[in-house]
Amino acid sequence: MSNRAILLILLLAPLCGPASASEVTSSSPADTRRSAIFFDGIDPQAWDLSQEETERYRTLMSGIRGSFSHPTISPLEVLGIHARTPDERRRYAERLVRLLYEDTERVLAFQREVQAAWERLYGDVPIIETDKLPPDKRPFSSESVRGKRLAAFVATTCFACDQAMPRLLALADGETAGVDFYVIDTASDAAIRAWARRHRIPVETVKTRRITLNHGRSLFARLGGTTVPAVFVREGDTFTPVPTLSASTGGGRP
């Protein structure tokens, strides 16, 4: 399978609630009020929506789609989920893919600049000198998690999380029973998919559920989390922190 195919499958993997073809067309006077920005700050101009598309998106979010999905679901996803024809569904999918591709390129460009800046300013100095840490605090010791399921809490804009990802992906690939990634700094499905593509998460591991992609803000709060990355061994509803795989021992409490 080509890299392009993998990226597209990751892009389209569902992260939100079940789709429904139902629509609620009734609206109150407040619902029909015209405004430049609807539903938690989404700007129709930013998404290149026509007036008709904007009104349809607003109607859908005022009905059953707004109940099933987070308010920040992108308007193109809403319109695509409720597309009236296969051609319309395809057009919305292509528009979303183009926007996500452009945003991923911007994120990668900045990440390359950050890496170049580190090398320019600090040369070969490692971010964390792990050999100077006490043995029980050295990151990425996998003995305590071998064969177990992990829950890894991360953020899309977190340098420490980016540094941890290669090891976490390696753990998901064979040393553990799998890794459930919980993204805590966004409620956008599209942003999580872009994050997954940026880290080249293999589509095969998502399809086999060795890796899952999830919203994690509320769960992290319930666990008392403060710092990411934070990794837990997950056994049913029980989460046991793994300090050696986390940013700090205070990253989260069950």
Res 210: pLDDT: 92
Distance CA 156, CA 62 (A): 29
Distance CA 168, CA 205 (A): 13
**Global confidence as pTM:** 0.47
Distance CA 18, CA 157 (A): 28
The DSSP symbol for 253 reads -
The separation between CA 105 and the C-alpha centre of its own chain, rounded to angstroms, equals 16
Backbone φ/ψ region at 54: left (φ over 0), alpha (ψ -120 to 50), beta: alpha
The separation between CA 250 and the C-alpha centre of its own chain, rounded to angstroms, equals 23
**For the chain, domain boundaries:** 1-125, 130-245
Distance CA 224, CA 241 (A): 11
For 130-245, CATH gives 3.40.30.10
Q: What percent of the chain has pLDDT over 90?
A: 25
pLDDT tens for 113-164 read: 887 888 888 877 665 555 555 554 455 455 668 889 999 999 988 888 888 8
The separation between CA 69 and the C-alpha centre of its own chain, rounded to angstroms, equals 15
CB atoms within 10 A of CB 136: 9
